[in-house]
């Protein structure tokens, strides 16, 4: 696990001095997708790499142990074996970065992963996800319970009341949003966040991770996200320790693209195992 953010003295002037040239950010965001197209075997390799960044997520009201089990199996075997063999990637141990579930399902996830012999972390959302409007006492208790059950990563919902009144907290990773808002991970927001990460690194030497979540569905999108991180922060951040993509259906679209690359055909829905 990467070193934790040791934290710094809270210096509010860092925040008040920030200026964002919004129109310029929008222009750069527009160009992202067109700027670095990735084709052929590069695309296949990038997509497999994108898989290793995914926090395979299920956050539905009707989650039960059976769909958790399916999810965990998919996390361990995200791409069909024969497709990986065709790319000579079957022995690289490609799995997703983590699975991400509600606190009550952590136990099921841990059990399911153990059953398939996969040691990727279980991440739990906590702290009154997604609105964060619960008492501090219960929020802390949630975290404790999730960790007790075996979660090794926690997606914390920040207290927006505090943010809007200018009271800040520190973290190891910053995430675009819960993924449950109307507007979630967009490129302009991401650019601003990535620049903030870069500035923080230049000032303190600490590397903070980045996780976009919500609305990332297509393989093409994932390539744009990888390219964005590569351009703004560089190759050092293209590791699961510093970059995660919170997604659920993205994986199947990536699998379809890989299928197309290997076979030259477009897969039917039933050709690939569901997650």
- Interface with other proteins (CB under 8 A): 19, 21-24, 26-27, 34-42, 44-46, 48-49, 85-89, 92, 202, 226, 230-231, 235, 238, 262
In terms of Cα–Cα distance, which of 104, 123, 147 is closest to 53? 123
Q: From the DSSP assignment, how many helices (H) and strands (E) are in the chain?
A: 11, 7
Catalytic residue among 175, 180, 220, 239: 175
Cβ-based neighbour number of residue 147 at 10 Å: 16
Residue 108 tokens, joined: 């099921």
At its nearest, how many Å lie between other proteins and the CB of residue 65?
A: 34
Tokens representing residue 130 in the block:
């997604």
Q: What is the CA radius of gyration of the chain?
A: 19
Q: Which is nearer to other proteins, 49 or 70 (CB)?
A: 49
Q: With contact defined as beta carbons under 8 Å apart, do 141 and 131 qualify?
A: no
Closest contact distance (angstroms) between CB of 253 and other proteins is 18
Marked catalytic residue, from 211, 220, 230, 239 = 211
Asked if 122 and 104 touch (Cβ cutoff 8 Å), the reply is no
CB of 55 to other proteins, least distance (A): 19
Closest to other proteins by CB, 89 vs 143, is 89
Is 175 a catalytic site residue? yes
Residue 33 CB, shortest distance to other proteins, in Å, is 11
Give catalytic status of residue 220 as yes or no: no
Residues serving a catalytic function are: 175, 211
């Amino acid at each position: 696990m990467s070193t934790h953010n040791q934290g710094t003295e809270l210096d509010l002037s860092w925040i008040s001095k920030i200026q964002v040239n919004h129109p310029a950010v929008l222009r750069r965001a527009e160009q992202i997708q067109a700027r670095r197209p990735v084709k052929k075997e590069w695309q296949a390799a990038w997509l497999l790499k994108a898989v290793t960044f995914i926090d395979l997520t299920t956050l539905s009201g009707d989650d039960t142990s059976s769909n958790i089990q399916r999810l965990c199996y998919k996390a361990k075997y995200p791409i069909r074996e024969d497709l990986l063999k065709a790319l000579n990637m079957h022995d690289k141990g490609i799995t997703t970065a983590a699975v991400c579930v509600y606190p009550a399902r952590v136990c099921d996830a841990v059990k399911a992963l153990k059953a398939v012999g996969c040691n990727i972390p279980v991440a739990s959302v906590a702290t009154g996800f997604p609105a964060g409007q619960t008492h501090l006492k219960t929020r802390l208790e949630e975290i404790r319970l999730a960790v007790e059950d075996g979660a090794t990563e926690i997606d914390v919902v920040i207290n927006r009341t505090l943010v809007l009144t200018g009271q800040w907290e520190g973290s190891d990773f910053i995430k675009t949003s819960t993924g449950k808002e109307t507007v979630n991970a967009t490129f302009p927001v991401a650019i601003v966040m990535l620049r903030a990460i870069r500035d923080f690194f230049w000032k303190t030497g600490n590397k903070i991770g980045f996780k976009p979540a919500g609305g990332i569905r297509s393989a093409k999108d994932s390539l744009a996200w990888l390219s964005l991180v590569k351009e703004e922060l560089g190759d050092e951040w293209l590791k699961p320790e510093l970059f995660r993509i919170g997604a659920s259906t993205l994986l199947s679209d990536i699998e379809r693209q890989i299928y197309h690359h290997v076979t030259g055909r477009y897969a039917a829905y039933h050709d690939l195992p569901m997650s």
